[in-house]
Chains A and B, each alone.
Chain A
Amino acid sequence: MRKTCLDVVYELAKQDERVVFIGSDLGAGTLDQFRDEMPDRFFMEGVSEQNLIGMAAGLAMEGYIPYVNTIATFITRRCYEQLAVDLCLHNLPVKLIANGGGLVYAPLGPTHLAIEDLAILRALPRMTVFAPCDKDEMARLVPQTLDLEGPCYIRLAKGGDEVVSDPAHGFTMGRAITLRQPGKVLIIGTGITSTRALHAANELADEGIECGVLHMHTVKPLDEAAILSSLDQVDLLVTVEEHTLVGGLGSAVGDLLFDQAPASASRLLRLGIPDRFADKYGTQDELLEYYGLQGPQIAQRIRDTLSGAGKQVA
C-alpha cells in the first residue's frame, strides 16, 4: 500500500510541476526514481516533523502541492500544532502520508502505534481523513488528492493487505462504499477493518444472519447520508476500527446518531481498542485478535448482541 501510494505520488509529480515530496528520514531507496528524475522537488529533511510541516506550509503558500511522508504516529502527535495552525488554519493543500497506521508497528511497542490518529486529526477543522482498505483503493484515492483544496491525512496499512476493493466501486472522497448490501446488521469499517468486517459478514451469512459492510474510507467528512439511509433497514449498526474507542470512527457515527437519529443510538455497537496503551507486542494480526477485532471475533460480538448478551466492549 505504501509503495502504491508513493508510486502514484511519483506519477503525479511527473505530470504536475507543483507536486513536491518531503520525507523525514525514510528507508533507503524510498522514491529513488523521483529523486533522480526530479531532484529539485524531492526533499529528505531529517527527523524534524515540526519543521517538515512548516516547510510544507511555506511551499504550499507559494503554490506548490507537498506530499509529506513519515511514520503515522510522528506525523500526527509530534507536530500536531503545526498541523492545526500551519496547515488547517491556512487551509493549505498539504497531503500527509502516514506509514503504519493503527497497530501495524505492533512489535515496536506503544511509541510507534498510531491508534488515536483518526481522533486527533478528525478534531481539526478543514482536515480530510482517509483510511483506504487496500493498495488498489489507494491507487484510486491518491490521484484525487491532487486537487483537494485543504490538507488531508492518508493512513497507510501494513502492506500486502488482502484486496477487497473493486474497481467497479470507483472512489469518491467522502462517499462510503457498500462492500456488501446490508441485512438486519450493518458493519461500518475503515481501513483494514473493513476487510475484517467482510470476513465476519461471510461467517454470519452462513448462519443466515445477513450482514452488510459499509467501507468508510473517508473518516472525515463522514458520509452521513450513507449511514442514516441504512437505519430503516438495519437493526444493529456495528463500527469496527483499528483505533481507540475515544474519538474515532465509532465516535463519529455515535455523534451522528445522537444528533440526527437519537432513537437509533442504542442500536450502535462500537468495536475498537480500549482506552489504554498497548501492553503486548507480536504482530498486527495478534494485536487485532487481542482487541477482538478479527473477523470471527466481530462475528461473535454480533451474535452475542443479537441474542441479547450485551454490548460490552472487549
Chain B
Amino acid sequence: MMINLAALEREAHAIYEPLALDRRSRDLRRLVVRGLVGGGRGHLGSALSAIEIVRVLYDDIMAHNPEKHNWQDRDRFLLSKGHGCLAQYAILADHGYFSKGELDRFCRFDGILGGHPDAGKVPGVEASTGALGHGPSIGVGMAVAAKLKGAAHRIFVVTGDGEINEGSVWEAAMTAGKHKLDNFTIIVDYNKLQSYQRTEVVQDLEPLTSKWESFGFAVRNVDGHDVEGLQRTFSTLPFATGRPNAVIAHTIKGRGVAHAEGDPAWHHKSNMSAAEIAGVLQAIGD
C-alpha cells in the first residue's frame, strides 16, 4: 500500500490541545500520588502519561473481571513499561482487584505493589515487567496462543517511547506481522520524553507511524489523554483484518500536574517533601 509520508509526518507532530481532565482522571491521579506517598518514591511522570490509556482500556474496552482475574476469556493487558506501574495499580485498585490501602505500602518490604509489577503478587497483573522490551514478545506469544485455541480474547501491550529503543520490540513486531495477529494491540505511550531527555535527542523514533506500518501494523494516532478519542479508537479494533494494531498515544509526561509536565526531572521522584506532595495534589485539583 502507498504510504503518504507527508501526512504521517504531520500526524506525528500534531499538537493536541490539552483537554481538561475530568473528575475520574483526577481521582485516578490522586491514587497515583497515594502510592507515591506510600512508597516515598515512584515514576510519577511515567505513570501520569498513561492514566487515560489504562482508564479507557479497563473502563470501556477490555473484558475483565476483578472477581475472577484469571478468567480464561479475559482480555490480557501487559504494562511493558513496568516503571509506569502506579498507573496500573491505580486503575486495578479502583476496579477492586485489591484494596486501595495497598497503595500506602507501595515499595514497602511486605507490600504486594513493587516499583515494577509482579505477576506473582498482584492480582490482575499478567506478567512481571520492568526490564524493558519484554512485553511485546510475551504478548505475541499470548496472541499466538489465542489464535491456536480459537479464542476471542485480545492482548493489549503498553510500551513507553524510550522502551521501543529496545531491539526486542521490533523482533516482536516482525513476528506479530508475520502471524497476522489482529488480536494484538501495542500502545505506545508517546510522551516524547525519556529519562535523560526528549526522545528526539536520545534516539529519534520518527517517522514512528510508518515504522509500525512497515512492520505490518495498522496504526492509529490519538491524543492519549482524550478519553472519548481513545474510546473511539479502541472501539474500532481490529483496525484491519489480519494485521496487528498499533496505537500511538500522544501524551504528556506528568500530565495533570502542570509544573511536572514535560520536565524530565519528574520521570522518577523520591524523597519528596510534604510541601512538594501538597503542590502535586493542588495541581491535580479536586
Query: Once the chains bind, are B128 and A89 in contact (CB under 8 Å)?
Result: yes
Contacts of B126 in A (CB 8 A): 61
Given known A-B contacts A62-B141, A62-B142, A90-B119, A54 and B131 have beta carbons under 8 A apart? no
Does chain B have a CB within 8 A of A119?
A: no
The interface stretch among B101-109, B169-177, B253-261 is B169-177
Contacts of A81 in B (CB 8 A): 131, 134
Does chain B have a CB within 8 A of A40?
A: yes
Q: Which of A58, A59, A82 has the most CB atoms of chain B within a 10 A radius of its CB?
A: A58
Question: In chain B between 99 and 154, which residues have their CB closer than 8 angstroms to a CB of chain A?
Answer: 119-120, 126-128, 130-131, 133-134, 136-146, 148-149
Given known A-B contacts A50-B171, A61-B127, A90-B127, A55 and B148 have beta carbons under 8 A apart? no
Query: Once the chains bind, are A45 and B175 in contact (CB under 8 Å)?
Result: yes
CA of A59 to CA of B172, assembled, Å:
14
Please, which residue of chain B has its CB at the minimum distance from the CB of A43?
B144
Given known A-B contacts A41-B148, A62-B142, A50 and B127 have beta carbons under 8 A apart? no
Query: Once the chains bind, are A57 and B138 in contact (CB under 8 Å)?
Result: yes
CA of A63 to CA of B136, assembled, Å:
18
Query: Once the chains bind, are B134 and A82 in contact (CB under 8 Å)?
Result: yes
Question: In chain B between 192 and 241, which residues have their CB closer than 8 angstroms to a CB of chain A?
Answer: none
Does chain A have a CB within 8 A of B168?
A: yes
CA of A64 to CA of B137, assembled, Å:
15
Question: In chain A between 84 and 114, which residues have their CB closer than 8 angstroms to a CB of chain B?
Answer: 85-86, 89-90
Does chain B have a CB within 8 A of A252?
A: no
Please, which residue of chain B has its CB at the minimum distance from the CB of A49?
B171
CA of A40 to CA of B149, assembled, Å:
10
Which of B130, B145, B167 interacts with A58 by CB under 8 Å? B145
Query: Once the chains bind, are A86 and B134 in contact (CB under 8 Å)?
Result: yes
Given known A-B contacts A46-B174, A50-B168, A51-B171, A58 and B141 have beta carbons under 8 A apart? yes
CA of A86 to CA of B146, assembled, Å:
19
Does chain B have a CB within 8 A of A48?
A: yes
Given known A-B contacts A81-B131, A85-B128, A55 and B140 have beta carbons under 8 A apart? yes
CB proximity of B256 to chain A, nearest CB, Å: 31
CA of A60 to CA of B174, assembled, Å:
20
B: interface residue count bin: 20 to 34
CA of A215 to CA of B120, assembled, Å:
36
Does chain B have a CB within 8 A of A238?
A: no
CB proximity of B140 to chain A, nearest CB, Å: 5
Which of B134, B141, B171 interacts with A85 by CB under 8 Å? B134
Contacts of A82 in B (CB 8 A): 134, 137, 168
CA of A53 to CA of B172, assembled, Å:
11
Query: Once the chains bind, are A55 and B131 in contact (CB under 8 Å)?
Result: no
Given known A-B contacts A62-B142, A90-B119, A54 and B172 have beta carbons under 8 A apart? yes
Does chain B have a CB within 8 A of A56?
A: yes
CA of A155 to CA of B141, assembled, Å:
24
Contacts of B133 in A (CB 8 A): 50
Contacts of A20 in B (CB 8 A): 148
CA of A56 to CA of B131, assembled, Å:
17
Query: Once the chains bind, are B175 and A40 in contact (CB under 8 Å)?
Result: no
Contacts of B119 in A (CB 8 A): 90
Query: Once the chains bind, are B174 and A50 in contact (CB under 8 Å)?
Result: no
Query: Once the chains bind, are B141 and A54 in contact (CB under 8 Å)?
Result: yes
Please, which residue of chain A has its CB at the minimum distance from the CB of B132?
A81
Query: Once the chains bind, are B134 and A55 in contact (CB under 8 Å)?
Result: no
Query: Once the chains bind, are A58 and B144 in contact (CB under 8 Å)?
Result: yes
Contacts of B175 in A (CB 8 A): 45-46, 48, 51, 55
Question: In chain A between 20 and 68, which residues have their CB closer than 8 angstroms to a CB of chain B?
Answer: 20, 40-41, 43, 45-46, 48, 50-51, 53-64
CA of A35 to CA of B149, assembled, Å:
18
Which of B134, B148, B167 interacts with A54 by CB under 8 Å? B134
CB proximity of B26 to chain A, nearest CB, Å: 34
Contacts of A54 in B (CB 8 A): 134, 136-138, 140-141, 168, 172
Query: Once the chains bind, are A55 and B172 in contact (CB under 8 Å)?
Result: yes
Given known A-B contacts A40-B148, A85-B128, A48 and B138 have beta carbons under 8 A apart? no
CA of A264 to CA of B63, assembled, Å:
61
Query: Once the chains bind, are B141 and A59 in contact (CB under 8 Å)?
Result: yes
Query: Once the chains bind, are B168 and A51 in contact (CB under 8 Å)?
Result: yes
A-B contact pairs, 28 of them (CB 8 A): A40-B148, A48-B168, A51-B168, A51-B174, A53-B137, A54-B136, A54-B137, A54-B141, A54-B168, A56-B141, A58-B137, A58-B143, A58-B144, A58-B145, A59-B145, A61-B138, A62-B142, A63-B145, A64-B148, A81-B131, A81-B134, A82-B134, A82-B137, A85-B128, A86-B127, A86-B138, A89-B120, A90-B119
Contacts A51-B168, A58-B139, A85-B128 known; list 15 others, CB within 8 Å.
A20-B148, A45-B175, A48-B175, A50-B137, A51-B140, A54-B134, A55-B138, A55-B140, A55-B141, A55-B144, A55-B172, A57-B137, A58-B142, A64-B148, A82-B137
A-B pairs, top 9 by smallest CB distance, nearest first, are A58-B141, A54-B137, A62-B145, A51-B171, A48-B171, A50-B168, A55-B141, A58-B142, A58-B138
Question: Which of A's residues lie within 8 Å of B, judged by CB?
Answer: 20, 40-41, 43, 45-46, 48, 50-51, 53-64, 81-82, 85-86, 89-90
